[in-house]
Amino acid sequence: MLSERAEEILEALWIQMEEQGKKQLDLGASRDEPAIDELSRLGFIRKDLDHIHLLEKGKAHASGCIRRHRLAERLLTDVFYVRKKIIDEVSCKFEHLLHKGLEDNVCTILGHPKVCPHGKPIPSGRCCTEKKEKRALKFVARLADLDVKDKGHIAYLQTKDRSQMQKLISIGAIPGVSIVLLQKFPSYVFQTGQSQFAVDKELASSIYVRLTK
Amino acid sequence: MLERFAKKIGYDDPLEVYLSKLQALVYGDYPLSRRSIALLLLQEDKDVLDLIKDKEKERLDEILKIVGEAGAHYSHPLTYIIGQRRQEEANRICDAAISFKERQRVTLRERLSKVLMNPFTGGPILLFVLYYGLYKFVGTFGAGVLVDFMEDKVFGEYISPFMINLVKSTLPFKLLQDLLVGEYGIITLGVRYAMAIILPIVATFFFAFAVVEDTGYLPRLAMLIDQLFKKIGLSGRAVIPMVLGLGCDTMATMVTRTLPTKRERIIATLLLALAIPCSAQMGVILALLGDNPLGLVVWLGVIILVFLVVGFLAAKIMPGELPTFYMEIPPLRLPHLSNILRKTYSRLRWYFWEILPLFIFASVFIWLGQITGIFNVLVRILEHPVRWIGLPSEAGVAFLFGFFRRDYGAAGLYDLKKAGLLSGNQLVVASVTLTLFLPCIAQLLMNIKERGMRMGMVMSVFILWFSFTVGYLLNIILTLLNLQL
């Protein structure tokens, strides 16, 4: 198993290359770290004179790490109400506990979130594309995946573009608001506060609800 | 006065800093406070951005830079952040001011609402509403009883004979007499059509529409029909212009403005022009096919098929943003008669003054067309496609007039039917073609006004071609199947 430090380096590499578009990285201060050697021994990275290159094998492993890190952030914010300021610190530790198998359960509990609380994308896992939903415990789920009469509070919105977001905000579907699903077919009808609204499946899939009993 | 109660909603520190920076850069004169302008800028409101481009030219770059920085500071769009904060404040105020009684039982109103939104009970209810609201009330009562009274009694016995006498005794010129009281005269045709046919039909339609509107039924219908409408490139929201189109397509075309995307507006305009018969037209078509239930069914079937197929194809071809559906479902309410009457009256007044000039214009146009002989040429041109769809050449006149008002055309067919010139099949083919045929001149003008000259013209050419093609095919199919309707 990879050391925590090695995983952190791998994540940092992945973010810089995949999300910030850099090709290679300066070795810099981490030149002599044992974690670097550990990674290159496993074939995750290639090291030349001053640079590190992330290899395919490393990329796959790194995206798994990122997924666990960001799922951990979601879990801590949406279910455990950890304060935003310390989220980063806690989830760095937490992610190492979420190993294969466990991460998909967490993902399901959270309603297969697509972004972390900072708005960065969460790489999707096998559980997100599988059609059959295990009836695992749900804490957070998309409105479209709820059963009729399920209630809760809106945890967050995740829309494909700004105009969708504006539509939801304009009908008062805003995080923190209490919500009940009244009907699923032929359109989704929900109640927030004293008002009822009908939306289509796409918008209903953009509203993530923290369920209450 | 309100300013005394106005209270600023405070946002978090970074946002307030960006706001004050923006406020300091906005110099121009605006109808809103500078803080509001700054807030709208942060939410990247298109209209305000355009306004700023104009009024703050020199500082535009700086303003946009600050907006960009503010956006980058937050991980969510600023609309989201600002919306959330406003909601918080609204909740705080409401919590202090409103308390809700715990409700134990489900009220009748809620039960009725559920029934309306259930696809299994909602469908039959829609048929019920259409049958009694549209067919019985507008079709039979408005287009039947009221029109008969206005046309035969009020105009036939009093106004027309009186005006004809008056004009003929005071105006010595035959040409001017024709213009005013001839076969297609301003008074005998234009004013008579507007007052005796359109007015009663549209009045009953607006009344029925206002009742349906005030109960809160339309949003429920929209949510039922959304999935079907998505297939034809529209959202459930478009149900409102479509239902309104059953009253008057011209008015409905104007209401397509309420649809959120250009793509939806174009598809809705096309479908209204092509496949939604207006109430005046339906009135006459019911008169044409009323004694022929099978023919009525074939007509309805073809029109619905065209509506769905053309919508489906238009949705496939048209590029652009796919529609999304969101709508408030207000509580069901018992409508107030006074509100309904007021609504009906104001719509009717607006509508009447809008179309009366068009009717007069149409009469003048027909008069001009006839004295110059242009009409005869046009009628002769139209006789060809009319013969292709298996109709006698005399029906060409009906199609030409159909362009001035769709119901003129249907009424022209009615005269042919009375004269015994049309068989059952021919009546159905003619009704279908005429329903699909070019919108009336008022609607054509509205199409051009709302969708632009090019789109309006392209649509008209397509409709002209398409209506005769469908009529042609229907005629062939009926003949091949050896059906006599």
pLDDT at B18: 92
Walk along chain B (485 residues) in steps of 10 and give the mean pLDDT of each run: 64 90 87 89 88 86 90 82 86 87 80 93 92 86 88 89 90 86 82 84 91 94 94 94 88 88 94 89 80 91 96 92 92 95 92 80 82 87 89 84 67 79 89 84 82 92 93 93 83
pTM, entire model: 0.81
Please say whether the beta carbons of B38 and B23 come within 8 A.
yes
Residue B114 covered by a domain: no
Nearest Cα to B327, choosing from B420, B236, B432, B461? B236
Q: Please tell me the distance in Å from B5's CA to the nearest CA on chain A.
A: 24
CB contact under 8 A, A118 and B75: yes
B:95-114 residues touching chain A, CB 8 A cutoff: 100, 114
Residue B395 covered by a domain: no
CB contact under 8 A, B224 and A171: no
Query: Cα dihedral angle (A83, A84, A85, A87), rounded to 10 degrees?
Result: 90
Among candidates B79, B224, B328 on the partner chain, residue whose Cβ is nearest the Cβ of A171: B328
The Cα–Cα gap between A197 and B328 comes to 4
**3-class SS of residue B281:** helix
For the stretch A19-62, pLDDT in tens is 887 777 776 666 677 888 888 888 888 887 778 888 888 888 88
Q: Where residue B81 sits, what CATH number does that domain have? A: 1.10.287.1770
Chains A–B, number of C-beta pairs less than 8 Å apart: 88
CB contact under 8 A, B87 and A194: no
Query: Cα dihedral angle (B327, B274, B408, B430), rounded to 10 degrees?
Result: -130
Residue B4 covered by a domain: no
A202: which chain B residues are within 8 Å (Cβ-Cβ)? 324
Give the domain extent around B70: 11-97
Residue B199 covered by a domain: no
pLDDT at A133: 58
The dihedrals phi and psi of A155, each to the nearest 5 degrees, come to: -85, -50
pLDDT at A186: 92
- In total, chain A counts a number of residues equal to 213
B119: which chain A residues are within 8 Å (Cβ-Cβ)? 185-186
A:115-174 residues touching chain B, CB 8 A cutoff: 117-120, 157, 162-169, 171-172, 174
Interface test with B, best of A169, A181, A208 (most B CBs within 10 A): A169
What type of residue sits at position B327?
Answer: M
pLDDT at B1: 44
Query: What domains can be seen in chain A, in order of their start residue?
Result: 1-137 (1.10.10.10), 140-212 (2.30.30.90)
Sign of CA pseudo-dihedral B416, B176, B153, B442: positive
Residue B17 covered by a domain: yes
Provide the pairing of β-strand A178-183 with A188-192.
Answer: antiparallel
* DSSP per-residue letters across B15-84: HHHHHHHHHHH--S--SS-HHHHHHHHHTT-HHHHHHHHHH-GGGHHHHHHHHHHHHHHSSS-HHHHHHH
pLDDT at B5: 59
CB contact under 8 A, B224 and A162: no
Domain count, chain B: 1
CB contact under 8 A, B326 and A203: yes
Residue B83 covered by a domain: yes
Residue B480 covered by a domain: no
Residue B431 covered by a domain: no
List C-alpha distances in Å: B426 to A42, A125, B12, B193, B287.
Answer: 83, 63, 73, 25, 15
pLDDT at B187: 86
B326: which chain A residues are within 8 Å (Cβ-Cβ)? 167-168, 171, 197-200, 203
Among candidates B77, B100, B225 on the partner chain, residue whose Cβ is nearest the Cβ of A165: B77
Per-residue pLDDT of chain A (213 residues; tens, 9 = 90+): 678 888 888 888 888 888 887 777 776 666 677 888 888 888 888 887 778 888 888 888 888 888 988 888 888 888 777 777 788 888 888 887 787 678 888 888 888 888 888 888 898 888 887 755 555 567 889 999 999 999 999 988 888 777 888 889 888 898 888 999 999 999 999 999 889 999 999 999 999 999 986
The Cα–Cα gap between A92 and B261 comes to 44
* B12 near A CB under 8 A: no
The Cα–Cα gap between A93 and A4 comes to 9
pLDDT at A27: 67
pLDDT at B404: 67
Among candidates B76, B88, B119 on the partner chain, residue whose Cβ is nearest the Cβ of A186: B119
